[in-house]
């Protein structure tokens, strides 16, 4: 009977240990479940923030691509403008050279014309002088012609 009592006491002690361990495990399990629940909530909040960040990243990528496209267009326009400016400068220099050449030709032609005019005046004067030597000064036309000389 002592053995039975001893075994009963041992079993009772084991049962109490098991109950205590079960209560501790239950408390530990509830605490971990609560922690997991909090982690789930934080995970959901982080997912929402991540979704917002991803949306912002997509928008920024789109803006970047738009700006790169605009920059390309501006770059091409600048290149076109530079080419046109170079063409205009070249035309301007060619036109300037042509103007200088025309002015030089004009001056040369003007000088030649001036010399020709002087030569013609001299010839006319010589002719008039020669005519006056032989002209009849009794006539009015001859007097007019020879009076100026």
Rounded to 5 degrees, what are φ and ψ at 135?
A: -75, 150
Residues 28 and 33: their CA atoms lie apart, in Å, by 9
Interval 29-81: pLDDT, tens? 999 999 999 999 999 999 999 999 999 999 999 999 999 999 999 999 999 99
Interval 94-127: pLDDT, tens? 999 999 999 999 999 999 999 999 999 999 888 8
């Amino acid at each position: 009977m002592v053995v039975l009592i001893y075994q009963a006491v041992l079993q009772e002690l084991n049962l109490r240990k098991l109950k205590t361990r079960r209560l501790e495990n239950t408390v530990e399990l509830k605490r971990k479940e609560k922690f997991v629940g909090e982690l789930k909530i934080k995970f959901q909040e982080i997912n929402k923030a991540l979704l917002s960040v991803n949306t912002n990243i997509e928008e920024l990528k789109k803006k970047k691509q738009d700006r790169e496209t605009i920059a390309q267009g501006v770059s091409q326009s600048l290149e076109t403008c530079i080419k046109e400016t170079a063409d205009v400068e070249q035309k301007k220099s060619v036109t300037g050279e042509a103007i200088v050449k025309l002015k030089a030709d004009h001056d040369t032609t003007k000088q030649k014309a001036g010399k020709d005019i002087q030569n013609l005046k001299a010839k006319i004067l010589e002719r008039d002088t020669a005519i006056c030597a032989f002209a009849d000064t009794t006539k009015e036309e001859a007097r007019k012609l020879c009076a100026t000389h």
